[in-house]
Structure 1
């Protein structure tokens, strides 16, 4: 029964996203909601925004269609997602200052918490004992949601990159949730995967529409809610480990970017062209090659996350640790921690 709901959720979201995106693209063109090239952009012609609207509608409708009486992620994704979608649309059309966007992100996270999504405990991997977080639960959940919103937003730098990463991560979550016992969350993860993959044909290079900040931050919020709900329902670390490891490339990129900017005396929000995807382009890769390379690494990390959840901590821990160390070694070799920056300024070069 659960497998059927998962299949229906994925298929419905995929078809809705695939069908709605051309309509949203037309509306964006008619209303002038366009992303114009700047000094940091990889694209050279204006591209319509608003792709996030089609993914939001597709995923939320699909989640609603397969909802059950269980305490699911649907309300938080739908309402919290609507808040961050509106914040993102405003930022796409009338650029917000970083602090203004951050307020909007915490507002959306507050809606998520208000609707019952909370990291209220963690499982001790050594004893299996549940550690109640008490007063820490609220700020931890807020930071978790906002971090995911920024994580996906920052990774949205090449055609199809963010949509593909979210699709891969959501697919890994489907398997993880079913294996961990969070079977009622799996169809919702499938809906998010279907929406992302349904949008991808229009967003892969050469893209005909971008998801904008609205779409990227919505996808981040949805992933954060699904991962928390999976943990709450299963109390199994794999519910968190699978999405975190699958997102290791954007997580590492975000960490390197903040560290690099702080070491060079710049604000963490000040954009540059030293992200992983920019470095891959400098190495001579085409956009498609760079994106596919990151997809492959994400798939490998996702598989590692799933495997780590089924083996003893003595095995899974070192595996995950080696993977993270390997990512840092590659980043150092590629110069991602160098203090120099090619170009800086406000980041308005969203691709997905």
Structure 2
């Protein structure tokens, strides 16, 4: 077993180093192509920032997966692995086109639903429901929800990449201790890609991942979460990946509730995410992002604990975590973020 953990460590450091090497190349290409995210009403940065950093993440992960499939081919699931990789690259391409030329939200949604249906057809349901139509619906909801949640998380320097790394490492811990070595390997590779990207993405960011990178990592985190299997019953098996992605799920839920309460469209952009609310409370950007990191790590550890407990204990702990997040959400909702809110 110790040999396997050394291999995981090697995968993490190699992908992190490769991402560190490729990210400046993506930066230079974005500058030459004039693909810059300009400051605007709903944006927190003050200067134009290149936003094709997702190219480095995608390239690093593709190289890592292809190398792993050649050097250490899995006993089963190689075709599924390459198929899912192709789907993730397809979604990244949709995102990159959106970065360059704008893609209508409807077509993006169609692409995401299509990707989710294909993954389900390959045998990757939620394991929550046995009925085909119900399981398909839940699978589509999971993939579309998590994919877009990570896209929405890309609202402050280092946030989406860091949280993707934390979610991936949570999946890695659960999968690795349950004998799901392929899932663990993919998770640690994704963590390495995103950690390496943080070198130029953390505050003050010199490059953003863009929609291409955000859709790519969001889809992969959703896929890795849905692949987790362990003895704990259907409900516990569903809760663990949700808690592994807790920061993304929490932020998206908070934003949707906040906008609906304010009479705004849930699809309207704005500085009303958890990160923006923490800045409103007086935290500088690095501290706000770091606070969210710590919260995600804490829930990730609890997610791992839930996967190791008996069903009743796991559900009690999950209920405690859920109640705590609900109280925290109520506190953050009270922070004024819209024009006209009481100061």
Please report the TM-score for the alignment, with normalisation by the length of structure 1. Answer: 0.87
Q: Indicate the SS of the match to 1:180.
A: coil
Partner of 2:206: 208
1:119 matches 2:125: yes
Map 1:1-352 onto structure 2 (within 5 A): 1-67=3-69, 68-71=74-77, 74-114=81-121, 116-119=122-125, 121-122=127-128, 132-231=130-229, 234=230, 241-335=239-333, 341-342=338-339
**Residues 117 and 154 of structure 1: is their aligned pair in 2 closer, same or farther, counting only changes over 3 Å?**
farther
Shift of 1:120: 5.9
Is the CA contact (8 Å cut-off) linking 1:36 and 1:47 kept in structure 2?
yes
Give RMSD over aligned pairs.
2.2
Distance in 1 of aligned mates of 2:232 and 2:316:
18
CA distance in 2, matches of 1:117, 1:151: 24
- Helix, strand or coil: the match of 1:121? coil
Greater relative CO, 1 or 2 (CA 8 Å, sep 6+):
1
SS of structure 2 residue aligned to 1:334: helix
TM-score, structure 2 as length reference: 0.89
The answer to whether the 8 A contact 1:273-1:342 is kept is no
Shift of 1:337: 8.5
C-alpha distance after superposition, 1:226-274 (max 9, x if no partner): 122233xx46567654442132222122112222223333322112222
SS of the equivalent of 1:174 reads helix
Residues 113 and 310 (structure 1), Cα distance of their counterparts in 2 relative to 1, 3 Å cut: closer
What stretches of structure 1 of length at least 5 have no aligned partner?
Answer: 123-130, 344-352
* Number of residue pairs the alignment of both structures matches: 331
Stretch deviating more after TM superposition (77-86 or 131-140)? 131-140
Cα distance in 2 between the residues matched to 1:111 and 1:52: 23
Q: Distance in 2 between matches of 1:182 and 1:245?
A: 19
| Structure 2 gap ranges (5+) | none
1:7 Cα shift?
2.5
Distance 1:327 1:27 in 2: 41
- Greater percentage in helix: 2
